[in-house]
């Protein structure tokens, strides 16, 4: 949010509302079609749309064959176009409307770009289908090679050619390109070059009669084009009212962004309809900025010298809501099939990486500390599976539970029971005597019986556990398997050096806390381990997340990690958007508000417990976002700069200093905190 304004306005956070519209066509009646188009344009304008695309030859209808060469029809198209242009004077969106137009003795299948009473430009179709049911070359000339030209339409003069982009001068990220139907069916669509030239929103005006299976192909083409071009792609096909002499029409309208489907209309509508969604222009810009090969492709491609038709959008600074799905858990898909696939891949990424390390380094044994919490449980499951696949005995896993001053019977018993159920070597090593001696040697007040539970008290325990594990690895000719997860690394919630930050190899380093519980549930559901082990895993999933380093007072519950550093649900949400897209804190807060303010809105991951389906207010979101920024940018990078090896698991990113995240250990959080405090209200 660069210039103040309404925090809850989507246009303050790099979004643009767009619509793919299908009007009711009237055969060879441009006036009626213009009126139908205008009605839809007014409707999406009221909803705050910045751009709306209509079907191919929308002003005339598509399936009218030789009527396209009749002067009365072409005259009427220009009259209707002029009327439509004049009537848009008070409308918000850039309109992209199909029409047959005459130019230098030929007729062209064109897209008109109209905005607030102006004809910004006209783009002719390049690729004319002339096979099977299509005979466009009978009526139209190709726009191939037309650049730098001008055209007059109903008294309005405008640039004409395939070299046009439409750019909002007051909303620089919105740069639109137009192609017509068949243009996207060829190996190198015009929109590909336009994207390389800077277009962020690619629009396709289509007629495209329907046959069985064709809708799926259209979606595949459009979605893949949005992914290849790192862009938004809008597709609007002709629907009701088109001639059914030999063909039928389904009115398919869809909106895609960077390979994801944002909105789709119903097919075979009886009336007018549209798909509408908010595309994230910041996301597109960030993806292109990070993917250097996108720009390399531009440098190595002979591009047209595109002209930019400039317009002033003047978007509303109002709370219009947000018309796009915002996953609560960006690392955890809400779709059950997708989640199962992600868990299968994630678990096997961990297992195969560990197998490679064991094999390559000639490792004889694994040494691991088991707390009875989520992270060490997942690491142990991975270790057991790796040994199974290597045809090695699980007895080569030396697992230790190391109770400290605040270890509960519940977690300790779960740890012991799980180790026994999995058939690994089981040992208990009580760290309290050694910790007491160390605190006494240091002159710490706890050694005199005082209840001083400071960071030294906590880290003596965490450090001793790791110290013992490394010495045990020496003793047993093995390596220490790390258990800390991606979320803890992001927040610096680990003890540096001789502590849980360090290991010989960490299979969890690329897995966020919010995903680990689903990986364990997936292991249970797929029967990788016997029923007794699965019952213990269920108990572990139900346990409060706690480091168990500080004894609870009378009547108090166990030490809570999330009460200290924030709900992992919110902190993983922030981590994803910082790591993957580099978004501003104010934008992350805006997205988090739409994802988390209402627990009844949107989808939850499969089997997510009802009692954990919480909502968070904007004030809570802002507070925990500030905590994240302070910890992530302010002081914890030195812990990540010295990370042991471990596999990247998610496309959302990792924190290895050798991979996804490279940052100075002596950085600071100043500009991120200032942006948050300046642009996000406190309530």
The span from the CA of 167 to the CA of 170, in Å, is 9
Name, in order, each residue with C-beta under 8 angstroms of 6's C-beta and a sequence gap of 6 or more.
12, 317, 318, 319
What residues are paired with 159 via a beta bridge?
Answer: 150
Q: Which residue has the tokens 């929103």?
A: 201
**Catalytic pick from 21, 56, 110, 513?**
56
Per DSSP, the residues of 159-198 read EESS-EEEEETTSTT-EEEEEEGGGGSSSS-HHHHHHHTT
Tell me the angle at which helices 281-290 and 568-581 cross, rounded to the nearest 10 degrees: 60
The span from the CA of 602 to the CA of 108, in Å, is 45
SS3 category, 353: helix
Q: Which two tokens stand for residue 456?
A: 């030294």
Length of the chain: 683
Closest CA to 250 of 215, 221, 277: 215
Taking CA atoms, 220 is separated from 97, 235, 622, in Å, by 23, 11, 39
CA angle 60, 194, 126 (to 5 degrees): 40
C-beta separation of 140 from 107 below 8 A: yes
**Catalytic pick from 21, 78, 110, 125?**
125
Dihedral over alpha carbons 516, 518, 520, 525 (to 10 degrees) = -170
**Catalytic pick from 110, 136, 179, 181?**
181
Assess whether 534 carries a catalytic annotation. Answer: no
Taking CA atoms, 679 is separated from 172, 305, 320, 683, in Å, by 20, 39, 18, 12
SS (H, E, C) 466-499: HHHHHHHHHHCCEEEEECCCHHHHHHCCCCCCCC
Name, in order, each residue with C-beta under 8 angstroms of 183's C-beta and a sequence gap of 6 or more.
125, 126, 127, 189, 190, 191, 204
H/E segment holding residue 406: none
Assess whether 56 carries a catalytic annotation. Answer: yes
The span from the CA of 298 to the CA of 559, in Å, is 54
The span from the CA of 272 to the CA of 238, in Å, is 10
Q: Which residue has the tokens 């969106």?
A: 93
Task: Point out the residues that are catalytic.
Answer: 56, 125, 181
């Amino acid at each position: 949010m660069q210039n103040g304004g309404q925090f809850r306005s989507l246009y303050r956070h790099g979004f643009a509302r767009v619509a793919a519209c299908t009007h009711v066509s009237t055969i060879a009646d441009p006036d009626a079609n213009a009126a139908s188009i205008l009605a839809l344009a007014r409707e999406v304008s009221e909803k705050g749309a910045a751009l709306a695309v209509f079907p191919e030859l929308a002003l005339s209808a598509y399936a009218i064959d030789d009527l396209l060469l009749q002067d009365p029809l072409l005259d009427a198209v220009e009259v209707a176009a002029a009327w439509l242009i004049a009537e848009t004077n008070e409308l918000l969106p850039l309109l992209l409307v199909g029409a047959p137009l005459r130019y230098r003795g030929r007729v062209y299948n064109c897209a008109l770009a109209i905005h607030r009473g102006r004809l910004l430009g006209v783009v002719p179709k390049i690729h004319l289908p002339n096979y099977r049911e299509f005979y466009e070359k009978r009526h139209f000339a190709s726009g191939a090679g037309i650049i730098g030209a001008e055209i007059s339409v109903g008294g309005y003069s405008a640039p004409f050619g395939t070299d046009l982009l439409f750019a909002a001068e007051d909303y620089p990220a919105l740069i639109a390109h137009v192609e017509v139907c068949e243009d996207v069916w060829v190996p190198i669509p015009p929109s590909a070059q336009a994207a390389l030239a800077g277009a962020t929103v690619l629009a396709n005006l289509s007629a495209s009669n329907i046959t069985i299976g064709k809708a799926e192909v259209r979606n595949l083409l459009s979605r893949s084009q949005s992914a290849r071009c790192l862009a938004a792609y809008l597709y609007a096909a002709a629907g009701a009212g088109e001639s059914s002499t030999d063909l039928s029409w389904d009115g398919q309208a869809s909106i895609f962004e960077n390979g994801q489907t944002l909105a789709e209309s119903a097919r075979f509508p009886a009336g007018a309809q549209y798909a509408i969604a908010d595309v994230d222009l910041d996301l597109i810009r960030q993806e292109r900025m990070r993917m250097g090969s996108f720009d390399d492709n531009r440098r190595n491609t002979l591009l047209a010298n595109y002209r930019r038709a400039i317009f002033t959008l003047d978007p509303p600074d109002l709370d219009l809501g947000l018309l796009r799905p915002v996953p609560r858990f960006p690392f955890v898909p809400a779709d059950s099939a997708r989640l199962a696939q992600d868990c299968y891949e994630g678990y096997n990424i961990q297992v195969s990486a560990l197998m490679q390390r064991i094999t390559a380094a000639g490792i004889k044994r694994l040494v691991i500390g088991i707390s009875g919490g989520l992270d060490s449980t997942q690491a142990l499951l991975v270790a057991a599976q790796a040994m199974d696949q290597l045809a090695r005995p699980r007895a080569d896993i030396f697992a230790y539970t190391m109770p400290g001053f605040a270890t509960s019977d519940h977690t300790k018993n779960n740890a012991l029971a799980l180790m026994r159920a999995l058939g690994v070597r089981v040992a208990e090593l009580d760290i309290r005597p050694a910790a007491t001696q160390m605190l006494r040697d240091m002159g710490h007040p706890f050694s005199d019986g005082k209840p001083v539970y400071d960071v030294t008290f906590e880290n003596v325990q965490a450090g001793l556990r790791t110290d013992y594990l490394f010495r045990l690895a020496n003793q047993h000719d093995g390596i220490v398997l790390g258990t800390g997860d991606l979320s803890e690394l992001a927040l610096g919630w680990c003890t540096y050096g001789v502590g849980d930050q360090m290991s010989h190899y960490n299979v969890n380093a690329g897995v966020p806390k919010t995903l680990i519980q689903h990986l364990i549930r997936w292991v249970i559901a797929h029967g990788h381990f016997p029923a007794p082990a699965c019952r213990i895993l269920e108990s572990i999933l139900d346990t409060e997340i706690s480091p168990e380093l500080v004894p609870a007072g009378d009547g108090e519950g166990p030490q809570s990690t999330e009460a200290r550093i924030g709900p992992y649900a919110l902190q993983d949400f922030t981590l994803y958007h910082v790591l993957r897209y580099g978004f501003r804190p104010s934008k992350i807060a805006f997205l988090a508000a739409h994802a988390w303010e209402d627990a009844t809105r949107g989808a939850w991951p499969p089997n997510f417990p009802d009692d954990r389906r919480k909502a968070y207010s904007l004030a809570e979101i802002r507070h925990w976002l500030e905590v994240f920024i302070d910890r992530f940018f302010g002081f914890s990078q030195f812990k990540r700069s010295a990370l042991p090896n471990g596999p990247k698991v998610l496309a959302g990113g990792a924190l290895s200093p050798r991979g996804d995240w490279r940052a100075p250990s002596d950085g600071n959080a100043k500009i991120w905190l200032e942006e948050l405090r300046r642009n996000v209200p406190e309530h």
